[in-house]
Amino acid sequence: MEITVKVNGKQVTREVEGRTTLSTFLREDLSLTGTHIGCDTSGCGACTVHVDGKAVKSCTLLAGQVDGCEVKTIEGLAENGKMHPLQDSFKEKHGLQCGFCTPGMIMLVSDFLETNPSPSEDEIRHALEGNFCRCTGYHNIVAAIKDAAETMSA
Partner 1 sequence: MSFIGKSVKRIEDKRFLTGKGKYTDDIKLVGMTHAHIVRSPYAHAKVLSIDTAAAKAHDGVVAVFVGSDIEGIVGVPTGWQVNFKNGDTMKEPAHPLLVRDNVRHVGDAVAVVIAETKEIARDAADLVEVDYDVMDAVTDPKKATAPGAPQVHPDAPNNICFDWELGNPVEEVDAALASAHHVTTLEFINQRMIPNAMEPRSAIGHYDDALDKYTLYTSTQNPHLIRLLLCAFVLGIPEHKVRIVSHDVGGGFGSKIFHYTEEALMVWVSKQINRPVKWTSDRSEAFMTDAHGRDHVTTANMGFDKDGKIVALKSDTFANMGAYLATFAPAVPTYLHGTLLQGLYTTPLINVNVVAAFTHTNSVDAYRGAGRPEATYLLERLIDLGALEMDMDPAELRKKNFIPAFDGIEQPGYQTQVALQYDSGDYQPVLDKALEMVGYEDFRAEQKKSLENGKLLGIGFSTYVEACGIAPSAVVGALGARAGLFESAQVRVQPTGKVSVYTGSHSHGQGHETTFVQVVADKLGIPMEDVDLIHGDSDAVAFGMGTYGSRSLAVGGSAIVKSIEKVLEKGAKIAAHKLEASVDDLDYAEGKWTVKGTDRSIAFGDVSLTAYVPHDYPADLEPGLDFSSFYDPANFTYPFGCHIAIVEIDKETGKVKLKRFIAVDDVGNVINPMIVDGQIHGGLAQGIGQALLEGAIYDEGGQLINGSYMDYTMPRADDLPSFEIDRTVTPCPHNPLGVKGAGEAGCIGSTPAVVNAVIDALWKAGHKVKDIQMPMTSERVWNAMNN
Residue 46 in contact with partner 1, rule: CB under 8 A: yes
Which span sits near partner 1 by CB under 8 A: 31-39, 50-58, 64-72, 110-118?
Answer: 31-39
Degrees, nearest 5: CA angle 90-74-120: 40
For residues 102 and 36, the answer to whether their CB atoms sit within 8 Å is no
Give the 3-state secondary structure of residue 54: strand
Residue 39 in contact with partner 1, rule: CB under 8 A: yes
Pick from 7, 103, 113, 149 the residue near partner 1 by CB under 8 A: 103
Compute the residue count for the chain. Answer: 154
Kindly report the backbone phi and psi dihedral angles of residue 132, in degrees, each rounded to the nearest multiple of 5, phi listed first: -85, 145
Binding footprint of partner 1 on the chain (CB under 8 A): 17, 19, 27, 31-41, 43-44, 46, 73-75, 77-78, 83, 87, 90-92, 94, 96-103, 106, 121-122, 124-126, 128-129, 131-143
